[in-house]
Structure 1
Amino acid sequence: MESPQFPKYLLFVILFSLYSTSIAQYEEERDALYAVKHTFNDPFLNDNWNGLQCYENTSFWYGIQCTNGRVTAILLESKGLSGKINADAFVLLSELVTLSFKNNSLSGNIMDFSSNPKLKDIDLSKNMFDGPISRSLLSLNLLESLQLQDNHLTGPILGFDQTSLTSFNVSNNSITGPIPGTDTLRSFSSASYSSNGPYMCDDSSNSSSGCYFSENETAGGGGSKKEPVSTVFIVFDVLGLLAGILLLFLYCKKSRQLKKLIQKYQLEEKDEDDLEMERMSNFHYNESKDESVIISAEVNNRSVTNEEKGKLIFMGDEDQAGFDLNDLLRASAEGLGKGLFGNSYKATLDGRPSVVVKRLRDLKPLSYDEFTEVVRIITNQKHPNLLPLLAYFYSNDEKLFLYRYAMNGNLFNRLHGGRGTRDRIPLRWNSRLAIARGVARAMEYLHLNPNSKCIVPHGNLKPSNILLDGNDNVLISDYGLASLVAVPIVAQRLVAFKSPEYQHSKRISMKSDVWSYGCFLLELLTGRLSAHSAPPGINGVDLCSWVHRAVREEWTAEIFDIEISVQRSAAPGMLKLLQIAIRCCDKIPEKRPEMTEIVREIDSIKAVDSDDSDELSADQSLTDESFSANA
């Protein structure tokens, strides 16, 4: 009696199996589309591509078409999509018939379509796809339209021979090599292949109708192989002619400038002519430094038009300064480097101390009175650890600042120069502590000085702006210059504008200077090159993040520079200074200490009695546990 029921159960099992398979396929397609959506990360698709993607022949997702609950088409044209699509992105969409990403900004290689046998229409035109044309396209026997134009595809054209293929375009790519001689590819016009590399005819071709040249196409589709070569020679001839004309133009321009320069150097009295010739002969030209000499001559040239303003103005007694503009022009010059506010040169005066000439650039359109007001504010800030302004020069086209020359250079070169060489003199703990203390005192003075009208009193504190005189005393430079420079340039170049508060909310304050001081301390303690002070073209380390990670992962002892970590007696002071630096680098400005508090805490750190350099293998003063306890 029960045997007739067996077929019913069998039918139920089959139907359930088919239903389970359908559900699995549905979920696989949904997961595949979710992966594509994640690649695009488009706000509209993120909101729209959710829930059921298909129900029978209806799709609830934008750009998706369905048949019998399966995805059959993806149409996302001109949506501003970007991202790199994975090669296997559509492997699970076995029912896909139409795919179009036309006019977007998608990148990567052409996808693998070997699992999409039903594909008929593919449009990937006007994107940024690169690499070769995918060989999986040859397996699509139902392919009717393939649009790959306006991409960055390379390599040869594949031998497409599908009789169903009626629309084909690979123009405006970087494809090279011959066009295969298949009947399908011969049926398309030269427009399908234009603007690629120079093609060659397939040897099996008995007709020239399948050969198209992107370099010099003819009406009949044929061309000569010698035409691209002749075109190259013509291009080189034209470029050579243009280069000759340009050089002649530059020569004439320089010649006119030289004549004008000589004419303007002629003074009213004849005996001054001999003096001027002596000045020119006294210039010490050098192939690597002649720019600075020429610049000083240009300054004199431009300044004679405005006798009142075009001269050196000294901040103190001019007689005590001991030189004038003529002495400066006669001096030999040496380029010191390119700073954010302008190039600097060392001028060596006969029988007098050398001076540094900073040629200011990218300034605001300030009048003479506005410029001198800023100069007055700068010169009124006097502190033993601030580099005083010696003199300035103002003309319509040139603005110069003169400073005393610091014999021992800047801290950046002292800290990072000569690493790994025998000539390197280690920068020990006592010297670094003295530098940290001197900088802190100078910054405290700038922050408390009522004459400073800047929101950020310094704004560009970094090792290259910390100078050392002949006695290794600290001198801070470049303070107060931010008020002379255009705001957009200041925001791009100054260290304070790299602080967390400016990155998040476009605001700065005095605490931005404190953050800069913290970054400087970390560079001083670690000996590592900071990303905020690295010269252009050189990558540094985000020391704030690096040190926080070192503390969090408990390898604090590796933070300190080897030149000071070997000094066992300096360990407590190093840890205390590191704690100050970490507080200064807090992402929340309000949690950072004031410069007065910083000075007080640094003054409490004692120097070591001797620069001993015993190894710390048996010493526990720099262990991570001791740091954690102190922190």
Structure 2
Amino acid sequence: MALMVFNKQSIAEDIPTGFHGYERDALFALKIGFNNSLLNRNWTGLMCYMNDTPYWQGIQCLNGRVTGILLENMMLNGEIETDALYNLTELSILSFNNNSISGNLMDFTKNQKLRKLDLSGNYFHGDIPSSLLSLNFLESLQLQDNNLTGSIPGFNRSILEEFNVSYNNLSGEIPETGVLQSFSLSSYVGNENLCGPPITTFCTTRNDLSQSNNGSSGDKTNNSPRLAAVLIVVNAIVLVVILFLFIIYCKKYKKLEKEFKSKNVLPKEEEHDSTIRNRIHEGEKGKLVFMEKNGIKFELDDLLKASAQGLGKGTFGNCYKAMLEVGPIVVVKRLRDLKPLSSEEFVRHVKAIAGQEHPNLLPLLAYFYSKDEKLFFYRFAENGNVYNQIHGGRGTRERVPFRWSSRLAVARGVARALEHLHLNTRSQNTAPHGNLKSSNVLLDENEEILVTDFGLSSLIALPIAVQRMISYKTPEYQSHKQISKKSDIWSYGCLLLELLTAQVPAQSAPPGTDGVDLCRWVHRAVREEWTAEIFDPEIAVQKGANQGMLRLLQIGIKCCDKSPEKRPEIAEVVAEVEVINVPGDLEDEEYPYSWIDRSQTDDSLSATPLVVIADDQRR
């Protein structure tokens, strides 16, 4: 009888209801180890709701089972037990990218369905576990920027398409398997004790030393002391030369430093443009160049002394908040994946970006250029970005409502900024902004709207831009590999729909967050006459906002048209947004849903069931 009860319990547990106790226990153990406030609030109850709908932040589900964990850029710390993943047998994607997690890497013996593993940007140490060799479906392995030691296991499954162990403390010869030899040098750099192809460091074996020590007579015993003496003399000479060069370098450096201080390295404002080229020409040492006239000034030493806080990984590199001892708070953006530009080309593109001056564009304060490091410096926006204003803290007491007047101000400010960028860009075959999304729209301490990350497509390598920039996710690029100024109009339309619905657009959803095809969803809502249901309740209940919300929805629908030719020009968009009234300017009206022009919706759209994202997924 007891056996029958046990069997019934086992069967019940396998039913895909969204509750598997052993999986939840494993996730709870991770939560306790991380002790992160967001996870502590969000990881409660069921993690998989109605089979495939994930209920927890960063969790993916299929048939009620946990198939993915994506907790990236969350400043997580603590250690993970090596057996932490034993009960997550359906796991196919795991990413803890860019956190501060330490400890040994986990044992992946039980995770035979794992396809993508990204543990980069943490403090993991110890060996790379051999259990990874048993994963038959592993396509991507990212372990860079950790403190791993030991040798590289002999991965040799052709399905492994992405592999990176750079910037660790690995040692020994890189295995000569076909797979590992197929990856470029960038997958292995930053490991001083690695040797053998594809890196250039030659591996010296005991056998090689033995052969080199053998003389023509083959008398190893007689030649060894003589060879040892020669090696000692050579090493001593090399050390003396290195010491001599170091002394010369120090003397010259101190002399140059005194000259720079006596001559005042920072140029006067009127000399700014003429001296940029000269200062950048010293690029190998690196120079900090200020772009804003009458703006703030600081030295590199000030930055080195400043306390810094990670703001997360942006589209093209990590961002940091630097609090100078004297002066304002600045944001430092480290640029990665750039085109192979010369210093003169880089300066020309940066000057073009800095030359875009408008009250609704975040100005570039300065940049730092050296051979290995490129940095942008901006003012810090006290009130964060619009994405967090719309989605942050949903379902919690800490949530601060984002009112209709504030959302309309965002729509107006972004439209004005886009108009300026479009008027100052001659080419029609480029998107002047290129990466417009809610996380790139900031609010300063005065609630002013500031658009950032514009013009970076001129600096970023095309393959990276295609993967990450919003303009390359437009319908015209997906179908004809073309972008234009109208690509920015499409991105602006998606932003308007996000402001109105509080849904996360699929093309700009952060890692670990599911998005929805907003243009398609709104088209369907209008066509099927349930428009009232799409508006965010935070603004739908505001008196006087009804007419304005519908007018902004109409503009968003036109901007999101699949055909670039049918989208309005930016000047027309600005004119239409400017005439929308804020609450109090109009008497409250009933929702005139018939005002929406349904002829603009795409009747060919599939009538698939609507997927509404839960509040907890939109944080």
TM range (shorter): 0.5 to 0.7
Counterpart in the other structure of 1:504: 479
The counterpart of 2:440, out of the listed 465, 471, 475, is 465
Alpha-carbon shift at residue 316 of structure 1 (Å): 3.0
Does residue 246 in structure 1 map to residue 215 in structure 2?
A: no
Residues 377, 452 of structure 1: 8 Å contact kept: no
Residues 383, 445 of structure 1: 8 Å contact kept: yes
The counterpart of 1:314, out of the listed 287, 290, 300, is 290
CA distance in 2, matches of 1:537, 1:443: 29
Does residue 600 in structure 1 map to residue 575 in structure 2?
A: yes
Percent sequence identity over aligned pairs: 57
Q: Which amino acid aligns with 1:561?
A: D
Query: What is the SS of the residue equivalent to 1:568?
Result: coil
CA distance in 2, matches of 1:601, 1:608: 17
Please list every run of 5 or more consecutive structure 2 residues that lacks an aligned counterpart in the other structure. Answer: 1-129, 135-147, 153-167, 173-189, 195-241, 258-278, 601-619
Cα-to-partner distance string for 1:113-161 (whole Å, 9 max, x where unaligned) = xxxxxxxxxxxxxxxxxxxxxxxxxxxxxxxxxxxxxxxxxxxxxxxxx
Residues 280, 343 of structure 2: 8 Å contact kept: no
Residues 461, 517 of structure 1: 8 Å contact kept: yes
CA distance in 2, matches of 1:611, 1:398: 53
Cα-to-partner distance string for 1:225-261 (whole Å, 9 max, x where unaligned) = xxxxxxxxxx99x99xxx974399548988999xx9x
Query: What is the SS of the residue equivalent to 1:337?
Result: strand
CA distance in 2, matches of 1:367, 1:465: 28
Counterpart in the other structure of 1:280: none
CA distance in 2, matches of 1:251, 1:422: 51
CA distance in 1, matches of 2:248, 2:376: 27
CA distance in 2, matches of 1:266, 1:254: 29
Alpha-carbon shift at residue 420 of structure 1 (Å): 0.9
The counterpart of 2:544, out of the listed 563, 569, 577, is 569
Q: 1:321 to 1:611 in 2, by over 3 A?
A: farther
CA distance in 1, matches of 2:512, 2:326: 39
Residues 568, 621 of structure 1: 8 Å contact kept: no
Alpha-carbon shift at residue 630 of structure 1 (Å): 12
Alpha-carbon shift at residue 351 of structure 1 (Å): 2.6
Q: What does 1:140-539 align with in structure 2 at a 5 Å threshold? A: 245-246=150-151, 250=170, 268=250, 310-317=286-293, 320-450=295-425, 455-539=430-514
Q: 1:373 to 1:337 in 2, by over 3 A?
A: same
Query: What is the SS of the residue equivalent to 2:315?
Result: coil
Structure number with higher relative contact order (C-alpha < 8 Å, ≥ 6 residues apart): 2
Query: What is the SS of the residue equivalent to 2:325?
Result: coil
Alpha-carbon shift at residue 306 of structure 1 (Å): 5.0
Counterpart in the other structure of 1:100: none
Cα-to-partner distance string for 1:76-117 (whole Å, 9 max, x where unaligned) = xxxxxxxxxxxxxxxxxxxxxxxxxxxxxxxxxxxxxxxxxx
Counterpart in the other structure of 1:300: none
Q: 1:410 to 1:266 in 2, by over 3 A?
A: farther
Does residue 545 in structure 1 map to residue 527 in structure 2?
A: no
Counterpart in the other structure of 1:580: 555
Alpha-carbon shift at residue 509 of structure 1 (Å): 0.9
Please list every run of 5 or more consecutive structure 1 residues that lacks an aligned counterpart in the other structure. Answer: 1-234, 276-302, 613-618
The counterpart of 2:591, out of the listed 622, 625, 628, is 622
Higher Rg:
1
Alpha-carbon shift at residue 492 of structure 1 (Å): 1.6
Residues 290, 366 of structure 2: 8 Å contact kept: yes
Q: Which amino acid aligns with 1:624?
A: Y
CA distance in 2, matches of 1:251, 1:572: 66
CA distance in 2, matches of 1:460, 1:511: 13
CA distance in 1, matches of 2:376, 2:583: 39
Q: 1:555 to 1:265 in 2, by over 3 A?
A: farther
Residues 429, 611 of structure 1: 8 Å contact kept: no
Residues 467, 474 of structure 1: 8 Å contact kept: yes
Residues 429, 484 of structure 2: 8 Å contact kept: no
Cα-to-partner distance string for 1:605-627 (whole Å, 9 max, x where unaligned) = 11112999xxxxxx872253454
Counterpart in the other structure of 1:31: none
Alpha-carbon shift at residue 317 of structure 1 (Å): 4.7
Residues 436, 488 of structure 2: 8 Å contact kept: yes
Query: What is the SS of the residue equivalent to 2:506?
Result: coil
Q: What does 1:96-135 align with in structure 2 at a 5 Å threshold? A: none
Alpha-carbon shift at residue 343 of structure 1 (Å): 1.0
Q: Which amino acid aligns with 1:246?
A: S
Alpha-carbon shift at residue 459 of structure 1 (Å): 0.8
CA distance in 1, matches of 2:429, 2:565: 19
Residues 522, 534 of structure 2: 8 Å contact kept: yes
Q: TM-score w.r.t. structure 1 length? A: 0.51
CA distance in 1, matches of 2:485, 2:368: 30
CA distance in 2, matches of 1:568, 1:336: 36
Counterpart in the other structure of 1:36: none
CA distance in 1, matches of 2:289, 2:362: 17
Residues 393, 400 of structure 1: 8 Å contact kept: yes
Query: What is the SS of the residue equivalent to 1:569?
Result: coil
CA distance in 2, matches of 1:417, 1:335: 18
Cα-to-partner distance string for 1:297-336 (whole Å, 9 max, x where unaligned) = xxxxxx9995676021001358x52311111111111111
Counterpart in the other structure of 1:609: 584
Residues 283, 343 of structure 2: 8 Å contact kept: no
Alpha-carbon shift at residue 341 of structure 1 (Å): 1.4
Alpha-carbon shift at residue 505 of structure 1 (Å): 1.1
Query: What is the SS of the residue equivalent to 2:309?
Result: strand
Q: 1:497 to 1:625 in 2, by over 3 A?
A: same
CA distance in 2, matches of 1:305, 1:456: 30
Cα-to-partner distance string for 1:422-477 (whole Å, 9 max, x where unaligned) = 11111111100011000000000100114779711011100010011001111111
Q: 1:344 to 1:507 in 2, by over 3 A?
A: same
Residues 356, 421 of structure 2: 8 Å contact kept: yes
Q: 1:560 to 1:514 in 2, by over 3 A?
A: same
CA distance in 2, matches of 1:606, 1:364: 44
Q: 1:368 to 1:630 in 2, by over 3 A?
A: same
Query: What is the SS of the residue equivalent to 2:334?
Result: strand
CA distance in 2, matches of 1:626, 1:468: 32
Q: TM-score w.r.t. structure 2 length? A: 0.52
CA distance in 2, matches of 1:487, 1:244: 34
CA distance in 2, matches of 1:572, 1:511: 26
Counterpart in the other structure of 1:91: none
Residues 306, 324 of structure 2: 8 Å contact kept: yes
Q: Which amino acid aligns with 2:381?
A: A
